[in-house]
A = this chain, B = another copy of it.
Amino acid sequence: MTETQRVVLFTRDDPLGLESGARLGPVEVAYETYGTLNADGTNAVYVCHALTGDAHAAGHHGDPGRRGWWDNLIGPGRPVDTDRFFVVCSNLLGGCQGTTGPGSENPDTGRPYGLAFPLFTVRDLVEVHRALLRHLGIARLAGAIGGSLGGMQVLQWVIDHPGEVDAALVVCASPRLSAQNIAFSAVAREAIMRDPDFQGGDYYGTGRAPDTGLSIARMMAHITYVSEASMREKFGRRLQHGDAPHFDFSVDFQVESYLQHQGESFLKRFDANTYLYMTRVMDYFDAFSDPVTVGARLEGTATRFLVVSFDSDWRFDTEHSREIVRHLQAWRVPVTFREVESPWGHDSFLLEIPEYHRTIQAFLDRTAGDLGI
């Protein structure tokens, strides 16, 4: 049982320098760790979370109803084996679950940042992870793992610091979003920013927040996280009550009720401004935009990649993963690619799918063996 911890990694006088040139301080980071760091400090695995994740990746804080979002993957004897590895997970920069973000106090004004929070990049997210590792006395990683936006961080980490990670596990990620991906993000942001309660992002403390916009954004995004087949399997055209449709505009089909619940429950745990920043970070991400520089860095790296996609994922379909693989292979970076069969779409990365978990376990076992841990 590990409670979430917090640490101030950058201060106003010693701020974080962002890729944009902006400087940000203080930066506090919420994180959790699982397992024990070995004497050499060689057994650390960093878990990078996705768009709406948090630091609570594993364990349950003494409440079995509050298991971490990747608890099926991380733990004693699990694929990311905490008997062997020291696992670290932190809430991302710009987050709303303990790490400094747009809802945090702007020291220049004494009020929450709102949209005055600087825009950041995947590279910046990684630099904050690295600062946390320095704080924990860890110089390099046995592994880094993440799904979706998490996988983008893993990829960027190795590109920027190719000697720092032994095993890079990139799950259902993308080297750069497609026009359709950006389109969905853009509509989500429109829904939030055009909500009259958005108030230009300065809604904190006003008693009003863009709940409508945020829940619309979440409902729409949720459709893209699951496959058509899994929605059909789970809901089909079944009605919420009885056999006869209401023939009105109330919630009538089960899928409507489910989506509405997704939208509502999301409001309790997420901040609309963070949603804006995290989707924008993904839009701008373009891992191989400068292939000459990236290739020169990666050529000859000892980092081994595992790239995993799911065949029913239509948010970041297998082609996104293949593009990562093709680039890495061109630079002779060791890469194993696996497209896992799963009916559950993009959300598959959060599920306990045997082939998927076995693949991760085998990859990390080999890494541990090579490192003698």
Q: Which residue of B lies closest to A222 (CB)?
A: B183
Q: Are B249 and A176 interface neighbours, CB within 8 A?
A: no
Chain B CB within 8 A of A231 CB:
yes
Cβ–Cβ < 8 Å partners of A220 in chain B? 184, 187, 220
CB under 8 Å from chain B, chain A span 173-193? 176-180, 182-184, 186-187, 189-191, 193
Q: Of B179, B215, B219, which is within 8 A of A236 by CB?
A: B179
Q: Determine whether the beta carbon of B237 is less than 8 Å from that of A177.
A: yes
Residue A253 interfacial (CB < 8 Å): yes
Number of copies: 2
What band does the interface of chain A fall in when counting residues whose beta carbon is under 8 Å from B?
35 or more
**A252 vs B193: C-alpha distance when bound (angstroms):** 15
Picked from B186, B223, B253, the residue with its CB within 8 Å of the CB of A256 is B186
* Complex CA distance for A190 and B280, rounded to whole angstroms: 24
A66 on the interface (CB 8 Å rule)?
no
State the Cβ distance, A195 to closest chain B Cβ, in Å: 8
Q: Identify the A interface with B (CB < 8 A).
A: 20, 115, 119, 176-180, 182-184, 186-187, 189-191, 193-196, 212, 215-216, 219-220, 223, 228, 231-232, 234-237, 245, 247-249, 251-253, 255-256, 259-260, 263, 276, 280, 283-284, 286
